[in-house]
Amino acid sequence: MKMNELKLIYFSPTGTTHKVVMETARSIDLKSVSFDLTIKKDLKPVAKFAPNDFALFAIPVYYGRVPALFLKYLDLFSGNGTPAALVATYGCREYEDALLELKTEVEKRGFKVIGAAAFPAEHSIVNSIGARRPNKADLKEASEYGISLNRIIKKEDSFASFDLKVPGNTPYRKYGKNVLFPKADVSLCTECSACAKICPAGAISLDNPKKTDHDKCIGCMKCVRFCKQKARYVSAFKLNMAAKKLTKVCQSDKKAEIFL
Ligand SMILES: Cc1cc2nc3c(=O)[nH]c(=O)nc-3n(C[C@H](O)[C@H](O)[C@H](O)COP(=O)(O)O)c2cc1C
C-alpha cells in the first residue's frame, strides 16, 4: 500500500516514552505528525486518519494499565482500518494488562494493530530503578522495532487480516490510588507557575501554584522533574516507602519485548 503519514500519539510526563517513540519513528520512512497528549488539552473534534496513514500510540504503564487520562484523550482520534503500532514503557516492574488494554481501545476506534512493544525504562517515581533507561541498547531495540514496522507497512496491501496477540488479561487490573502528591517547598517556589502550565492533569492552580488538587493529580511526577527551582517534591517519608516496596518487585535489567 502507498502509505501517507505517520501519526505519533503519545503521553509522556517524564520523557522516557517520548524518547522511545521518537527513536521508533526515526526508522519509519514516512513524514510524521505529533499529537503530544502530555500537554493538557481541551477536548476538540476528532482527528480522522486515513486507511493509508500509520499511527504509533505510546504510553507509560500506570498500575499495569493504560493511564486513564490517555484513554480520555483517545476519543479525539479515529481510524478507518488504519494500521497502528503500540509502545508502552514501564518502570521495570511489569506492564501486565497495558498492551492488551491499549490494543483493545485503539481497535475500538477503527485502528488495526500490527505491532506492539514494551520497553523497560527509568521508574518515574523511584528514579534509581532502571536509572537513565532507555539507554543506548534500549534505543537500538526501539529503532529495530521501527525497522520491522516499516518493512510490514511497505509490504502489505491490506491490514484487515492482522490478528496480533499481546500479553494481558481481562478483567484488567484495578487502577491503584495515587498517594504521592507533589507539594511545593514554599521557601523555593517563586510562583512562576511553570508547573501549572505543564501539568497534564490541570491539577496545579495557575493563580496559586503552591496548591495541588488531590482529586486531579495523577502522580505522574512531571512537575517534580521539570521545576527549575527544584521546589516541587514528594514527602521523603512516602517516597522512601514507595522505594522500599518497588525495589523489591522491580528488576532494573529487564529486556524489551516486541510482538509482531
Ligand atoms: C502513577 C504511576 C504508576 C506506575 N505504574 C507502573 C507499573 O504498574 N509498572 C511499572 O513497571 N512501572 C510503573 N510506573 C513507572 C512508569 O511506567 C515508567 O517510569 C515510565 O517509563 C514513565 O514514562 P514517562 O517518562 O514517559 O512519563 C508508574 C509510574 C507512575 C507515575
Q: How far apart are CA 8 and CA 31, in angstroms?
A: 11
- Cα-to-centroid distance, 65 and ligand 1 (Å): 10
In CATH, what number is assigned to the domain containing residue 207? Answer: 3.30.70.20
Give 23's contacts (C-beta < 8 A, 6+ positions apart): 134, 139, 142, 143, 146
* Statement to judge: residues 25 and 145 lie in one domain: yes
pLDDT of residue 45 exceeding 80, the answer is no
* Statement to judge: residues 92 and 190 lie in one domain: no
* Statement to judge: residues 139 and 201 lie in one domain: no
pLDDT for position 217: 95
Of 114, 51, 50, 123, give the one whose Cα is nearest residue 86: 114
Range of the domain at 187: 183-233
* Statement to judge: residues 156 and 208 lie in one domain: no
* Statement to judge: residues 148 and 216 lie in one domain: no
- Pocket lining: 231 vs ligand 1, CB cutoff 6 Å: no
Q: pLDDT for 124-160, tens place per residue?
A: 999 999 999 999 999 999 999 999 999 999 999 899 9
Alpha helices, H only, 9-84: 16-26, 68-74
* Statement to judge: residues 125 and 208 lie in one domain: no
Average pLDDT of span 42-62 = 91
- Cα-to-centroid distance, 258 and ligand 1 (Å): 18
Q: Does 123 fall in a domain?
A: yes
- Pocket lining: 93 vs ligand 1, CB cutoff 6 Å: yes
Lowest mean pLDDT among 2-16, 38-52, 68-82, 167-181: 38-52
More confident residue, 117 or 211: 117
Average pLDDT of span 83-100 = 98
In CATH, what number is assigned to the domain containing residue 154? Answer: 3.40.50.360
- Pocket lining: 70 vs ligand 1, CB cutoff 6 Å: no
- Cα-to-centroid distance, 52 and ligand 1 (Å): 32
pLDDT of residue 251 exceeding 80, the answer is yes
Mode of pairing for the β-strands spanning 232-233 and 5-10: unpaired
pLDDT of residue 44 exceeding 80, the answer is no
pLDDT for position 205: 92
- Pocket lining: 200 vs ligand 1, CB cutoff 6 Å: no
Q: What is the mean pLDDT of the chain?
A: 95
pLDDT for position 92: 98
- Pocket lining: 224 vs ligand 1, CB cutoff 6 Å: no
- Pocket lining: 182 vs ligand 1, CB cutoff 6 Å: no
Q: How far apart are CA 225 and CA 174, in angstroms?
A: 27
Long-range contacts of 174-178 (CB under 8 A, 24+ apart): 174/63, 175/62, 175/63, 175/65, 175/68, 176/62, 176/63, 178/217, 178/218, 178/219
* Statement to judge: residues 156 and 201 lie in one domain: no
- Cα-to-centroid distance, 126 and ligand 1 (Å): 10
* Statement to judge: residues 128 and 223 lie in one domain: no
